[in-house]
């Protein structure tokens, strides 16, 4: 999987391992006057012949952190604001996990190569965070029982890259199990009881994806909802998309109705399209994630129409 997130450096290698294995040195790359590239043994005395690598043999690959961070943010539906932590090497705060309004959990990623360094990162983050957080690492290799104890004490969620994504046809895609992990985490650290705002949460079956969701407007501001075997009828207020002052539907609810009119599609040819539609779509996606507790973006961009399409089935009245 790591190969997907590699990028070539701008500068080629200045040395290569001994191609013949005759010695343990690195051959120095020399550019000769005849335009040939030579890899010269620097042992004293030289132990093997000079070799002539091709240009592509000198390409050095490194981790494309921006690409990796962006994919994690997409799959976990994070509010992205990646920032490297200067006093914690190879550690970045990717952004925020916001399952509900007022519930905000920082998300960190660390790439360490020693057990001691990983423990220092866990200890430092836990000491700074007053509440739960999410920590991501390429593997669980260095997450010792001591680290687990620290994470458990802070009700933190620990995820490895394989927990978050898998390869499908050579492309990274969401691991179906990560939704359950996030749901369990949110259920344990987010309290919604007694909020008094009339907002409900759908009893989404475990492992459900957006493709399992069906929404149909039935009358007024009510919709019929089905996710696998679970069904229900809800209004805009119960789904958290009503104005708290007057109870009128929010712009997100109106946009959901527009998606229904387009049977799941919305593009710039619609009369209701305007310059703030992208932000409304983001807010609608967040409201739907909160209500259904399904991770990931419920919409995707359609390049041909320069619009969006729902990952779920939706119909008008």
Report, as an integer, the average pLDDT of 15-24: 76
What digits encode the pLDDT tens for the residues 111-132? 999 999 999 999 999 988 878 8
Which pLDDT does position 216 carry in this prediction? 95
Architecture of domain 65-189: 3-Layer(aba) Sandwich (3.40)
- Whole-Å CA distances, 129 to 96, 135, 190: 13, 12, 16
What digits encode the pLDDT tens for the residues 199-241? 677 888 888 899 999 999 998 789 999 999 999 999 998 888 9
Q: Is the link from the previous residue into 45 a cis peptide, with omega within 30 of 0?
A: yes
pTM of the model: 0.53
* Among 79, 101, 80, 95, CA closest to 287: 101
DSSP 10-52: SSPPSEEE-TTSSSSSEEEEEE-TTS-EEEE--SSS--S--B-
What digits encode the pLDDT tens for the residues 280-294? 888 899 889 888 888
Q: How many CB atoms lie within 10 A of CB 93?
A: 17
3-state class of 222 per DSSP? strand
- So where are the chain's domains? 9-62, 65-189, 210-315
């Amino acid at each position: 999987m790591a190969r997907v997130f590699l990028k070539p450096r701008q500068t080629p290698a200045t040395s290569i391992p001994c191609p013949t294995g005759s010695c343990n040195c690195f051959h120095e790359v020399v550019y000769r006057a005849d335009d040939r590239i030579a890899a010269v043994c620097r042992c004293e005395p030289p132990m093997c012949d000079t070799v002539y690598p091709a240009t592509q043999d000198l390409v050095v690959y490194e981790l494309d952190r921006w690409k990796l961070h962006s994919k994690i943010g997409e799959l976990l539906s994070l509010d992205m604001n990646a920032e490297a932590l200067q006093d914690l090497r190879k550690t970045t705060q990717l952004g925020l996990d916001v399952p509900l309004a007022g519930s905000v959990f920082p998300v960190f990623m660390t790439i360490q190569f020693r057990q001691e360094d990983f423990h220092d990162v866990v200890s430092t983050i836990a000491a700074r965070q007053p509440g739960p957080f999410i920590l991501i690492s390429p593997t669980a290799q260095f997450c010792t029982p001591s680290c687990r104890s620290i994470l458990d004490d802070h009700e933190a969620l620990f995820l490895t890259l394989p927990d978050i994504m898998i390869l499908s046809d050579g492309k990274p895609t969401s691991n179906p199990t990560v939704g359950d992990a996030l749901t369990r985490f949110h259920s344990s650290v987010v309290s919604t009881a007694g909020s008094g705002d009339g907002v409900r949460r759908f009893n989404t079956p475990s492992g459900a994806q957006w493709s399992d969701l069906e929404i149909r407007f039935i009358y007024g501001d009510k919709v019929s909802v089905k996710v696998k075997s679970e069904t229900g009828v809800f209004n805009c207020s119960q789904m958290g998309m009503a104005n708290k002052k007057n109870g009128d539907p929010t712009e997100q609810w109106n946009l959901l109705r527009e998606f229904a009119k387009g049977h799941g599609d919305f593009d710039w040819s619609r009369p209701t399209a305007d310059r703030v539609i992208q932000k409304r779509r983001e807010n609608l996606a967040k409201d739907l994630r909160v209500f259904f507790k399904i991770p990931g973006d419920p919409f995707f961009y359609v390049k041909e129409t320069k619009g969006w399409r729902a990952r779920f089935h939706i119909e008008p009245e």
